[in-house]
């Protein structure tokens, strides 16, 4: 299914013909009719549509047509190179070009052959090294721009050799023995499909056999499409830790752009993206999606997650659905995360990378567990349960003394809603009789009482982790300590005493003692109750029946 979708992607765009690929050339080698290098040769780091690099080149000497490295065109060797094979590379390049161009009636073709025939007369231009990619030009015009030269390469790729059925296109085609490299996932550029070691073979095939019954055309098409998507940056891809997520729509106009804006910006808020997402969420809440120019909500949309490990590409997941369904799941995720904050937050809608960052010690998404990013995105766009490691990591960070901010509380709220089928409010729920939630509220109240009495609070660092996991071992001591916290502000001591009494009445500890331990689910409720109560302590109340923030505080 992945290969079929990528082939359709290639055919809808069709920017590159079979046998060609977009890649960069570092240097233009301008030659004359006798094959000598002209002074007009120059450095020119530009991307062109060039003949496709030969497959499997990393494991052997295989020359590239018309555009290749200095090691192949000049036999340059690096002193650090373990195997000195410059002469072999040059010989292969000469053999390829002579074989293809010797009988072509073209001044440009004859000039290329003359270049290789007179190798000993060439002086390598300054700036060309073993790895410098050089493109031929003939008297100022790039060789690839000559129709007769292009036809030579196109004719090679239009021939069918063995006439086998391609499982992707359903047409007769030459079976691809090697598949092209996927670039943009890291330093290495392996193939998506291969069988070059016994551990990766199946159905009786060995590393000498084709990796799959896929034709040359389909192989070229899917590799070209995937490399093009990876090359287009944030419009079609996002890097999430060790994972790379690629996404596209069939015959798209704006769908991928909208998805990129909705899934979340990488560093700073995007005002238009936030507004667009808010508009979509408002409509989605009523079971509809807004009319947007150039957008078809029923259009098929694809999300592919790849991971490069040990020089091999792993497919983490591949999701296909309508674009409207994906956006609907995305808006549902953001509704799950909605939670009150007394602060002016940077992002109205919390992007995924902030959620990942909250699971780490240094607060950096790049430090998140290697597989967690892909798991999170998969749960977001499919509506599946949020990954357990996300929830567990947040609880661990909080118990280790991490601050309980909006993002951490939002994650807990979202997990309780989706994974545990809870009904969780955005802000404080004073009517909740849940024990864990109420214990969290009680802890926040005692903490704030100590702060108002002493100008600082020490109970959080000393008791929060214990109170969250084993309330019976912490709350009796906390309640005794709170009796010694006296607030000077008139009336406030009474308010604190009243609130503690109300929370203790809900808990009814005389009939039901403090629980000895809380489950992971209950620990989430405890933290959420603590967060809600803490935020509410800073919210102004007109009736004065609850806590208020001192106007002198900032």
Residue 195 lies in a domain: yes
User: Under DSSP, is residue 521 helix (H, G, I), strand (E, B) or coil?
Assistant: helix
pLDDT level of residue 283 (50, 70, 90 thresholds): confident
Work out the widest C-alpha separation in the chain, in whole angstroms.
103
Looking at 105, 124, 157, the residue that finishes a domain is: 157
Residue 448 lies in a domain: yes
Residue ranges in 17-85 assigned as alpha helix (H): 70-73
Looking at residue 540, what is its pLDDT? 43
Whether the predicted pLDDT of 350 surpasses 80: yes
Tell me how many domains the chain contains: 4
| Shared-domain flag, residues 299 and 255 | yes
Whether the predicted pLDDT of 194 surpasses 80: no
> What's the average model confidence in pLDDT over 251-259?
82
- For the residues of 347-409, what is the DSSP string, one character each? -SS--HHHHHHTTSSS--GGGS-TTHHHHHHHHHHH-PPPPHHHHHHHHHHHHTT----HHHH
| Shared-domain flag, residues 55 and 9 | no
| Shared-domain flag, residues 38 and 110 | yes
| Shared-domain flag, residues 168 and 153 | no
Looking at 231, 255, 275, the residue that finishes a domain is: 231
Residue 548 lies in a domain: no
How far is the C-alpha of 382 from the C-alpha of 63, rounded, in Å?
A: 45
How far is the C-alpha of 22 from the C-alpha of 277, rounded, in Å?
A: 34
Residue 373's Cβ-count burial label (10 Å; 0-12, 13-18, 19+) is buried
Residue 523 lies in a domain: yes
| Shared-domain flag, residues 135 and 50 | yes
Full domain range(s) for residue 334: 234-418
| Shared-domain flag, residues 339 and 386 | yes
Whether the predicted pLDDT of 360 surpasses 90: yes
* Strand extents, DSSP E, 267-360: 300-309, 312-322
Whether the predicted pLDDT of 491 surpasses 70: no
How far is the C-alpha of 143 from the C-alpha of 150, rounded, in Å?
A: 9
Whether the predicted pLDDT of 498 surpasses 60: yes
Residue 543 lies in a domain: no
**Residue-averaged pLDDT of the chain:** 86
Nearest to 438 by CA among 329, 374, 512, 491: 512
Residue 224 lies in a domain: yes
| Shared-domain flag, residues 250 and 365 | yes
Residue 178 lies in a domain: yes
Q: Which carries the bigger pLDDT value, residue 186 or residue 94?
A: 94
Nearest to 3 by CA among 209, 308, 231, 213: 213
Distance of CA 476 to the CA centre of its chain: 47
| Shared-domain flag, residues 491 and 361 | no
| Shared-domain flag, residues 403 and 262 | yes
Of the chain, the percentage scoring pLDDT greater than 70 comes to 88
Looking at residue 548, what is its pLDDT? 41
User: Under DSSP, is residue 322 helix (H, G, I), strand (E, B) or coil?
Assistant: strand
| Shared-domain flag, residues 290 and 302 | yes
Residue 381 lies in a domain: yes
Looking at 231, 248, 264, the residue that finishes a domain is: 231
| Shared-domain flag, residues 4 and 60 | no
Looking at residue 547, what is its pLDDT? 46
| Shared-domain flag, residues 43 and 85 | yes
């Amino acid at each position: 299914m992945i290969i079929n979708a990528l082939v359709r992607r290639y055919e809808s765009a069709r920017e590159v013909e079979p046998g060609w690929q977009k890649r960069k050339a570092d240097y233009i080698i301008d030659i004359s009719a006798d094959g000598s290098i002209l002074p007009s040769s120059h450095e020119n780091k530009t991307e062109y549509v060039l003949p496709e690099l030969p497959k499997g080149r990393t494991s052997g000497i295989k020359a590239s047509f018309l555009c290749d490295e200095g090691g192949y065109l000049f036999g340059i060797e690096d002193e650090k190179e373990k195997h000195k094979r410059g002469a072999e590379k040059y010989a292969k390049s000469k053999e390829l070009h002579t074989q293809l161009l010797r009988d072509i009636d073209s001044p440009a073709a004859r000039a290329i052959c003359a270049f290789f025939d007179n190798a000993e007369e060439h002086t390598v231009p300054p700036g060309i090294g073993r790895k410098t990619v050089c493109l031929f030009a003939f008297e100022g015009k790039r060789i690839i721009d000559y129709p007769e030269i292009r036809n030579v390469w196109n004719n090679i790729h239009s021939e069918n050799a063995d006439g086998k059925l391609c499982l992707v296109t359903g047409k007769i085609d030459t079976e691809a023995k090697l598949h092209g490299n996927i670039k943009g996932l890291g330093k290495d550029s392996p193939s998506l499909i291969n069988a070059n070691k016994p551990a990766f073979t199946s159905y009786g095939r060995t590393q000498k056999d084709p990796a799959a019954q896929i034709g040359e055309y389909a192989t070229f098409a899917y590799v070209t499409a995937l490399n093009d998507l990876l090359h287009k940056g944030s419009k079609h891809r996002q890097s999430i830790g060790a994972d790379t997520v690629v996404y596209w729509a069939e015959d798209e106009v704006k769908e991928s752009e909208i998805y990129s804006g909705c899934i979340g910006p990488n560093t700073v808020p995007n005002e238009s993206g936030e507004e667009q997402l808010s508009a979509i969420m408002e409509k989605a809440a009523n079971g509809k999606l807004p009319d947007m120019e150039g957008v078809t909500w029923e259009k098929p949309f694809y999300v592919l997650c790849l991971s490069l490990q040990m020089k091999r590409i792993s497919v983490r997941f591949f999701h296909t659905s309508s674009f409207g369904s994906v956006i609907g799941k995305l808006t549902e995720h953001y509704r799950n995360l909605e939670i009150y904050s007394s602060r002016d937050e940077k992002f109205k809608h919390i992007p995924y990378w902030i959620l990942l960052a909250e699971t780490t010690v240094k607060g950096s998404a790049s430090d998140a567990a290697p597989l967690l990013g892909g798991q999170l995105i998969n749960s977001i766009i499919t509506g599946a349960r949020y990954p357990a490691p996300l929830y567990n990591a947040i609880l661990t960070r909080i118990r280790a003394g991490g601050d309980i901010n909006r993002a951490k509380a939002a994650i807990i709220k979202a997990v309780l809603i989706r994974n545990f089928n809870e009904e969780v409010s955005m802000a404080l729920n004073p009517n909740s009789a849940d024990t864990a939630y109420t214990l969290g509220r009680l802890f926040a109240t005692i903490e704030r009482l100590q702060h108002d009495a002493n100008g600082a609070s020490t109970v959080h660092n000393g008791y929060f982790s214990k109170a969250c996991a084993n309330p019976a071992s912490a709350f009796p001591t906390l309640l005794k300590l709170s009796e010694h916290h006296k607030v000077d502000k008139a009336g406030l001591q009474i308010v604190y005493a009243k609130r503690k009494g109300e929370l203790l009445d809900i808990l009814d500890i005389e009939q039901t003692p403090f629980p000895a331990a809380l489950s992971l689910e209950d620990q989430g409720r405890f933290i959420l109750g603590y967060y809600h109560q803490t935020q509410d302590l800073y919210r102004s109340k007109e009736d004065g029946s609850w806590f208020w923030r001192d106007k002198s505080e900032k």
